[in-house]
């Protein structure tokens, strides 16, 4: 008794399922790679914006300190003296917030 080799046949429906599964697997990998690249790009953009914001805040603080220095009483008194004006305490009005 000889054994017959049975040939396994793949039907069209099975072939379609295998092709669809393979396509889904490939597309999942491609989307994962491109999605990761996109997220990395956005993360780098966010970090750059944070750096720019910190730099601008430091500039603002520096300028605020310069304004405070230039509007100090001693500085104003020196400018007034240089212009030949006299300091009169009765003409000073203090405005509070």
Range of the domain at 37: 12-87
Report if residue 56 sits inside a domain: yes
**What's the mean pLDDT when you consider all of the chain?**
89
Report if residue 79 sits inside a domain: yes
Q: Residues 6 or more apart from 38 whose CB is under 8 A from it? A: none
Report if residue 6 sits inside a domain: no
pLDDT for 20: 97
Contact status, residue 80 vs residue 87, Cβ threshold 8 Å: yes
| pLDDT tens digit sequence for 27-70 | 999 999 999 999 999 999 999 999 999 999 999 999 999 998 88
Report if residue 92 sits inside a domain: no
Report if residue 50 sits inside a domain: yes
Contact status, residue 32 vs residue 38, Cβ threshold 8 Å: no
How buried is 83 (Cβ within 10 angstroms: 0-12 exposed, 13-18 middle, 19+ buried)?
exposed
pLDDT for 26: 98
Report if residue 68 sits inside a domain: yes
Report if residue 51 sits inside a domain: yes
- Comparison of pLDDT for 6 and 43, the residue scoring more: 43
How many domains is the chain partitioned into structurally?
Answer: 1
pLDDT of 78 strictly over 70: yes
């Amino acid at each position: 008794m000889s054994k017959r080799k049975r040939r396994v046949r793949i039907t069209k429906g099975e072939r379609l399922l295998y092709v669809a599964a393979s396509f889904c697997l490939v597309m999942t990998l491609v989307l994962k790679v491109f999605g990761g690249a996109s997220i990395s790009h956005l993360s780098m953009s966010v970090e750059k914006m944070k750096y720019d914001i910190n730099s601008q805040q430091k500039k603002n603080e520096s300028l605020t300190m310069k304004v405070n220095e230039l509007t100090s009483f001693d500085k104003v008194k020196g400018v007034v003296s240089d212009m030949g004006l006299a300091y009169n305490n009765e003409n000073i009005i203090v405005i509070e917030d």
